[in-house]
């Protein structure tokens, strides 16, 4: 292929295998997914002699498509800033109809219909392009494309297969990154809500490791840190506490359990419940200082009110 800048062994019969391994390595070995995707685009672009290689992602409702990542060859004008929130329900919606049953296409721009799509691509200086859809449960969630802005010989079927394989690998990582971003946004919303709670709360996993605590909890235990075991951080123990609420909850069919305990220089009503966090089952503990309440009122009545008459 014209423009290749990588070793000649890529021209051997196992070129697709070599490129697949290289693309996967660039993505998997990068500390940040974004960096890995950018490096993979550059690698594939130089291999293909492409003018641009890019990734588009669809909005949640599928109406809009945006250029998420882009690599450009020397002297090629970037398009990423121009191609944000493209309305795919307008005339550009016909772009998706270019894909064949395998989710790919390879066309010269002059042969593309309707005219609106052809005009959009021509305005970017594209002569020909090959695009592979990013599919999720049968729905197009984006695509990886290779633009060629100069006349060139037609890509061979073997070369197309190799470029599409690289695109599919990138697509997997893009879907993973976007899913993780959704989880992160959801967690940020949860954290914002918990930080505004009037009571101290903290979150642990099944191994007793603290995963989150809010500001009021930090006020009670200033040395508290994510990654510590709750029994060491809060009770200065080397093993889980006797009567551990987490173990009690794990052994029960209840959604939550509560107990009165001595903590933070007073009496605390603690309640632990199961929640989903970052796709995993976690345990949320809410603490309430009831020292004064117990002093001012009948302790048995208060206990029954806080924990339930069956406690």
pLDDT (tens digit, 9 = 90+) per residue, 141-184? 999 999 999 999 999 998 999 999 999 999 988 988 887 777 67
When pLDDT is averaged across residues 271-290 and rounded to a whole number, the result is: 85
Residue 277 — pLDDT band, cuts 50, 70, 90?
confident
Last residue of a domain, one of 186, 205, 235: 186
Domain count, the chain: 2
Most confident of 122-131, 157-166, 249-258: 122-131
What is the pTM (predicted TM-score) of this model?
A: 0.62
Judge if 40 and 82 occupy the same domain: yes
Last residue of a domain, one of 186, 209, 234: 186
**21-77 residue pLDDT tens:** 888 888 888 878 889 999 999 999 999 999 999 999 999 888 899 999 999 999 999
Q: Is 2 inside any structural domain?
A: no
Q: Is 57 inside any structural domain?
A: yes
CA proximity to 220, closest of 272, 289, 284, 269: 289
Judge if 220 and 275 occupy the same domain: yes
Residue 9 — pLDDT band, cuts 50, 70, 90?
very low
Question: Which CATH number goes with the domain that contains 94?
Answer: 3.30.450.40
- Confidence check: pLDDT of 311 > 50: no
Residue 305 — pLDDT band, cuts 50, 70, 90?
very low
Judge if 181 and 213 occupy the same domain: no
Q: Is 191 inside any structural domain?
A: no
* 282, 297 Cβ separation under 8 angstroms: no
CB atoms within 10 A of CB 57: 18
Last residue of a domain, one of 186, 212, 241: 186
- Give the integer Cα–Cα distance in Å for 298 and 306: 12
Judge if 181 and 206 occupy the same domain: no
- Confidence check: pLDDT of 202 > 90: yes
CA proximity to 163, closest of 279, 4, 296: 4
Q: Is 287 inside any structural domain?
A: yes
pLDDT at 128: 97
Report which of residues 268 and 293 the model is more confident about: 268
Report which of residues 304 and 204 the model is more confident about: 204
Judge if 155 and 225 occupy the same domain: no
- Confidence check: pLDDT of 297 > 80: no
Most confident of 132-141, 192-201, 247-256: 132-141
Judge if 124 and 235 occupy the same domain: no
- Confidence check: pLDDT of 11 > 60: no
- Give the integer Cα–Cα distance in Å for 271 and 205: 15
Judge if 180 and 272 occupy the same domain: no
CA proximity to 41, closest of 55, 25, 28: 55
Question: Which CATH number goes with the domain that contains 288?
Answer: 3.30.450.20
Q: Is 168 inside any structural domain?
A: yes
Average pLDDT of the residues of the chain: 85
Judge if 19 and 91 occupy the same domain: yes
pLDDT at 8: 44
Judge if 175 and 240 occupy the same domain: no
Residue 121 — pLDDT band, cuts 50, 70, 90?
very high
Q: Could you tell me the residue range of the domain that residue 26 belongs to? A: 8-186
């Amino acid at each position: 292929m014209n423009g290749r800048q990588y070793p000649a062994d890529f021209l051997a019969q196992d070129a697709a295998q070599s490129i697949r391994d290289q693309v996967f390595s660039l993505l998997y070995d990068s500390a940040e997914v974004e960096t890995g995707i950018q490096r993979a685009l550059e690698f594939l672009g130089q291999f293909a002699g492409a003018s641009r290689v890019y990734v588009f992602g669809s909005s949640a409702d599928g109406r809009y498509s945006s250029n998420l990542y882009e690599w450009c060859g020397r002297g090629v004008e970037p398009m990423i800033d121009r191609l944000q929130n493209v309305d795919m329900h307008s005339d550009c919606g016909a772009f998706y109809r270019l894909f064949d049953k395998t989710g790919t296409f390879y066309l010269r721009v002059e042969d593309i219909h309707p005219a609106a799509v052809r005009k959009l691509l021509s305005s970017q200086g594209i002569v020909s392009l090959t695009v592979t859809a990013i599919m999720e449960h049968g729905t197009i969630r984006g695509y990886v494309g290779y633009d060629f802005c100069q006349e060139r010989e037609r890509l061979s079927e073997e070369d197309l297969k190799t470029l599409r394989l690289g695109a599919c690998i990138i697509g997997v990582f893009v879907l993973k990154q976007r899913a993780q971003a959704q989880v992160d946004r959801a967690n940020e919303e949860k954290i914002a809500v918990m930080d505004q709670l009037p009571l101290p709360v903290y979150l642990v996993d099944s191994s007793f490791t603290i995963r989150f605590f809010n500001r009021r909890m930090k006020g009670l235990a200033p040395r508290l840190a994510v990654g510590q075991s709750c029994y060491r951080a809060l009770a200065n123990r080397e093993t889980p506490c006797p009567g551990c609420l987490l173990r009690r909850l794990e052994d029960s069919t209840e959604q939550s359990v509560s107990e009165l305990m001595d903590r933070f220089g007073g009496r605390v009503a603690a309640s632990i419940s199961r929640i989903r966090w970052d796709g995993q089952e976690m345990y949320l503990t809410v603490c309430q200082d009831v020292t004064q309440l117990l002093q001012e009122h009948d302790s048995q009545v208060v206990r029954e009110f806080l924990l339930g008459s069956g406690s």
